[in-house]
Structures are given as C-alpha cells and as structure tokens.
C-alpha cells in the first residue's frame, strides 16, 4: 500500500510502499477514505524541537481519518464489515488507575496514531475496535475525518464555563477555527480571534468571530482590554503554541479567568508566574486530546444541533501523493483543513 513515511530524523517525509497491516483478534482493518493534515503533523514534518524529543522514525505519519471497515478480528462484535468509522487516535492501556477512573485521555501509556505508532497517511490502517467511532454512511468522509480535531476544540472550549463568557481564541489554524465556531455554538457572549495570518483571520470572521485581531498590526493586549471594558476576557483558548502569544494572553485574561492550553510550543516557554498567574488568581489548564468518550458524544450533539459551521474549514482536498503541497499550505498558513485521499482513483 502507499504510505507517507517519516523515514529519517530530519525535516520532510516521503511517499513509500509498505505491506497492508495484519490485525489481531481485537482489531479492525480500515480502508482509509480521507485523512487530514494536523498541526502536530506539521511539527513532525518540519522536525522542530518538540518532534526531535518525541518522534522516533521510521514510521507512517497521520492520525485524523475516516474509512471503511474491510476486515474484523475474531473477537470483534461491535463493528461490521462496511461500517464507516473515524478513530479516537489515543490508544490507551485500559488497566491503569487513570483509565479505570474515567480519565483514560490522560493514560501515561497512551500510544498515538502517527506519533508513537504507524498512522493514517496510508491506504489502510489497523486499529483496536474499541477506538472506532461508527459514522453515518451518507456523510462526506472529508467531514467525518475532522471530528477528531474538532473534539480537541470542543474539550478546550468546554473545559470550564462558556455560556455568556468572553472568549479569546488564540491561533486560528484549523483547530482554532473550530474553536471559534464551537464557542459561538455554546453561547459565548463575544468571541475574539487572534491570528497573524490574514487568510485564517478572514476565515475566523466567516465562522462567526465577533472581533479579529492581527497582533502584527495592533497590540492585542490593548485591543482586548478595550473590547472588554478594561476587564479582560473570561477565557483564553490558546491554540497557537507561541510563547509570545501565551505571555500576551496572560496579560489580557480577566482576574480569576481561565487559560486553556492546547497549542504545542516548538521550544520551552518562560512565563511570569508571580504576576501573571498567582496574583491574578487564574486557572491554567493543559488540554490533552479528547475525553474518552465524553467529548465524542459532545461533538456528535453539536454537529446534530446544526449550530456548527464546518464546511468552510475544509479548504483543500488533495490525493495522498500531493502531501508535500498540503504541508506547504499548512506552513504558509493560507489554508484551513487540508484533506488527503489515499485511495482516490
């Protein structure tokens, strides 16, 4: 089968051939219909400091996908051949204290598709049946494969009170864009999008941001304080991973406010804990993936509500062979979600 391999410990990746994976008794084999490029994939492709510490090539990249089940393990009873599935991409141990107390998303032995094990930039992927999320067969697979990153945005926004609150979404890559539409859907009083790329800033506005700020053109601290009567925002959803953006957000979050961190910094970040955290009485949260499987049901409910505007988020659709074009688009910032099609004829 065709795959996109991270073969060496350096920037880039390559198209390669690899045997179709074998499955165990509790696994399923899925023909990949659509798979998305994520910000994490871009970190790995670019081989930044985070990737150099975490990633161990060679392996197949990618983790967001939707596909058709073509083979079942002997012990699988909850999935059928022909089902269209997406995946919770964090494979957990299921037996540790965290897994057994409803906090499996924090399992210390988690293995992530396309990060720790072979991923979904491939024609076929093997996965535990317990990680499969069965979808409707009449929905575009490109939309189905964005449920996993959408879940990241949902957990970030809903990690505390949101209704009637002012929310700054910092970093409007694909997950940040999802954060904007989720915040609007759950009743935020004002959504402020902060992003340096004009393409993505315009996309955030299209998806419902009440205020858009380019910090290269104006001071986000001053502007956000002006937009909030000098109080600051109730909630910061930090999606950028930028140390500068994080430090700015700690200045414009309200006293007693919440800062939820999803963005992955490419290198260590220094913050003023005394003045910007302790004396402000704020809460800082690290957001890891999606709660298993509470967030998936929240995503399903939000989609069924009809309040999420998802179509504009997918801006490019490419065959798997054109993955380099997809990563160039991600690095330029001139895109929303880029979907790859491994089995496109």
Q: Which one, of 287, 251, 334, lies nearest residue 90 by Cα?
A: 287
Predicted pLDDT of residue 344? 74
d(CA 194, CA 37): 22
pLDDT, tens digit, 9 for 90 and up, residues 77-92: 999 999 999 999 999 9
pLDDT at residue 39 above 90? no
Share of the chain above pLDDT 90, in %: 91
Distance CA 176, CA 200 (A): 9
Which domains does the chain show, CATH number per domain? 2-146+310-341 (3.90.180.10), 153-286 (3.40.50.720)
The pTM assigned to this predicted structure is 0.90
Helices of type H across the chain: 39-46, 49-54, 97-100, 141-144, 147-157, 174-185, 198-206, 220-227, 243-252, 273, 294-305, 323-332
Residue of 32 and 311 predicted with greater confidence: 32
Asked whether residue 123 carries a pLDDT value surpassing 80, the answer given is yes
pLDDT in tens, 203-234: 999 999 999 999 999 999 999 999 999 999 99
Give 10-27 pLDDT, tens digit per residue: 999 999 999 999 999 999
Stretch 276-301: mean pLDDT: 95
Provide the pLDDT for residue 82: 97
CA 1/CA 27 separation, integer angstroms: 19
How large is the average pLDDT for residues 290-312?
A: 91
* Model confidence band, residue 266 (pLDDT cutoffs 50, 70, 90): confident
CA distance 208 to 227: 16
Q: Decide if pLDDT at 345 tops 80.
A: no
Mean residue pLDDT of the chain comes to 95
Residue 102, pLDDT > 80, answer: yes
Among all residues, which ones are annotated catalytic? Answer: 40, 43
- Residue 185 pLDDT: 95
Residues 6+ apart with CB under 8 A from 266: 43, 48, 49, 50, 241
Quick one: pLDDT at residue 153?
96
- Tell me, what's the pLDDT at 24? 96
């Amino acid at each position: 089968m065709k795959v996109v391999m991270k073969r060496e410990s350096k920037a880039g990746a390559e198209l390669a051939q690899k045997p179709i994976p074998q499955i165990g008794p509790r696994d399923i084999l899925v023909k990949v219909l659509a798979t998305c490029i994520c910000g994490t994939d871009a970190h790995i492709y670019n081989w930044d400091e985070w990737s150099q510490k975490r990633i161990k090539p060679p392996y197949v990249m990618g983790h967001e996908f939707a596909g058709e089940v073509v083979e079942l393990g002997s012990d699988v009873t909850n999935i059928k051949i022909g089902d269209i599935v997406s995946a919770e991409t964090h494979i957990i141990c299921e037996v540790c204290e965290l897994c057994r107390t409803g906090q499996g998303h924090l399992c210390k032995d988690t293995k992530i598709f396309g990060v720790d094990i072979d991923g979904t930039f491939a024609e076929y992927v093997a996965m535990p049946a317990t990680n499969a999320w069965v979808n409707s067969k009449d929905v575009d697979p490109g939309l189905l494969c964005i449920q996993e990153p959408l879940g990241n945005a949902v957990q970030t926004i809903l990690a505390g009170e949101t209704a009637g609150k002012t929310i700054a979404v910092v970093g409007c890559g694909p997950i940040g864009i999802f954060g904007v539409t989720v915040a609007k859907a759950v009743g935020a009083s004002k959504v402020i999008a902060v992003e340096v790329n004009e393409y993505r800033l315009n996309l955030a506005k299209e998806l419902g941001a009440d205020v858009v700020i380019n910090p290269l053109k104006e001071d986000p601290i001053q502007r956000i304080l002006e937009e909030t009567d000098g109080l600051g925002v109730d909630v910061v959803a930090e999606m950028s991973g930028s140390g500068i953006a994080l430090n700015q957000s700690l200045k414009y979050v309200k006293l007693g406010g919440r800062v939820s961190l999803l963005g992955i910094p490419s290198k260590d970040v220094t913050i003023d804990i005394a003045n910007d955290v302790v004396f402000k009485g704020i809460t800082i949260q690290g957001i890891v993936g999606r709660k298993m499987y509470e967030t998936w049901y929240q995503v399903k409910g939000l989609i069924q509500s009809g309040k999420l505007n998802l179509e504009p988020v997918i801006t490019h659709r490419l065959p798997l062979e054109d993955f380099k074009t997809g990563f160039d688009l991600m690095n330029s910032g001139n895109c929303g979600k880029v979907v790859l099609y491994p089995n496109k004829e």
